[in-house]
Amino acid sequence: MHDVSTAWIVIPVFNEDRVIAQVVEETAAVFPNIVCVDDGSSDNTEEQIYGSKAHLIKHPINLGQGAALQTGIAYALAQPGMKYVITFDADGQHRVEDAINMLEIAAAGDLDVVLGSRFLNANTGIPWIKRVVLRTAAALSPTSRKLKLTDAHNGLRVMNRKAASMLQITMNGMAHASEIVAFLARSGLRIQEAPVTVRYTDYSKAKGQSLINGVNILFDISIRQRGM
């Protein structure tokens, strides 16, 4: 197995005080290095992280998930011995086994980036409406097609040091997922998808993005692609 102490788990956190401590605890059972970026939460998220084994970074104001990811990655890059960054959602929808598996794939195949996909496994328990929308988003996006991705909006990603230091997320809000894919398509890095299972608990479903937010994402992306 690949040495997990060279991997840093980055978790952007915004108002997740009910689950974040448990998510960190589960992850810490395998990964010794975890950094949680509290994105200016108004609940007790900060205290929950403080009491956990994770490194705590606190945004003084709420900036958005994309900004929190970038902050966590910047912090991880400054840590000695860091070779891999693993991005992870705070709501408990990702499984630690999948992260280990993806890290293995990245290390074994000498890949720069491994992206989690909900759709490589046959049976995944994804609500059908979400499946249709996500598949459509992946199919419509020219960059996703170029990389032959099946799932463009999965929060579980493994990046090696090279990929992580090249990545510059400028989309503070939720459009960062598309931005990352667009960056990867341009970058020429070695990329692969790996099957993951997403746990759709009632909590993560309630927390997940509403589909109408897709309109905002499309708008942000289209303005940006015109040369910002």
**Binding interface with another protein (CB under 8 A):** 1, 3-6, 29-30, 32-33, 37, 50, 53, 55-61, 63, 67, 70-71, 74-75, 78, 80-81, 170, 172, 223, 226-228
Task: Render the chain in DSSP notation, one character per residue.
Answer: ---GGGEEEEEEESS-TTTHHHHHHHHHTT-S-EEEEE-S-SSSHHHHHHTSSSEEEE-SS---HHHHHHHHHHHHHTSTT--EEEE--TTS-S-HHHHHHHHHHHHHTT-SEEEEETTSSS-----HHHHHHHHHHHHH-HHHHHHT-S-TT-S-EEEEHHHHHH------STTHHHHHHHHHHHHT--EEEEE------HHHHHHSPPTTHHHHHHHHHHHHHTT-
With respect to another protein, which residue has the nearer C-beta, 33 or 141?
33
Least separation in angstroms between residue 91's CB and another protein is 21
Q: At 10, list the tokens.
A: 């980055």
Distance CA 124, CA 74 (A): 33
With respect to another protein, which residue has the nearer C-beta, 97 or 132?
97
With respect to another protein, which residue has the nearer C-beta, 34 or 138?
34
Least separation in angstroms between residue 120's CB and another protein is 24
Least separation in angstroms between residue 165's CB and another protein is 15
With respect to another protein, which residue has the nearer C-beta, 33 or 150?
33
Displacement of CA 87 from its chain's centroid (Å): 4
Least separation in angstroms between residue 83's CB and another protein is 10
Least separation in angstroms between residue 130's CB and another protein is 29
Length of the chain: 228
With respect to another protein, which residue has the nearer C-beta, 169 or 198?
169
With respect to another protein, which residue has the nearer C-beta, 143 or 172?
172
Least separation in angstroms between residue 108's CB and another protein is 14
